């Protein structure tokens, strides 16, 4: 009778440990938002206005723009969402 009681508790903790990493992965997902440009501005001024750097914007948008590139009115870029 004692041997039957010992294995029963062992499986219970295992499922809880499997779920925890999935929850942590979701909470680390970077948040972004889309911004439409309503007036022509240079790339560095746009980055500064949105609290980020041109390097981060290039990476986020798959671009390779330099800081003096003028962004056209009507363009759309992704920026990091502010908390």
- In this prediction, residue 82 carries a pLDDT of 75
Stated pTM of the model: 0.63
44 torsion bin: left (phi>0), alpha (psi -120 to 50), beta (else): alpha
Structure confidence at residue 15 (pLDDT): 45
HEC secondary structure over the chain: CHHHHCCCCCCCHHHHHHHHHHHHHHHCCCCEEEEECCCCEEHHHHHHHCCCCHHHHHHHHCCCCCCCCEECCCCEEEEECCC
- In this prediction, the residues of the chain whose per-residue pLDDT falls under 50 are 1, 5-25
């Amino acid at each position: 009778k004692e041997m039957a009681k010992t294995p029963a508790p062992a499986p219970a903790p295992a499922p809880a440990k499997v779920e925890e990493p999935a929850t942590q992965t979701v909470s680390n997902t970077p948040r972004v938002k889309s911004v439409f440009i309503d007036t022509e501005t240079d790339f560095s001024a746009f980055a500064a206005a949105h609290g980020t750097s041109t390097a981060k914007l290039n990476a986020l948008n798959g671009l390779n723009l330099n800081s003096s590139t003028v962004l056209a009115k009507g363009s759309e870029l992704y920026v990091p969402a502010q908390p």
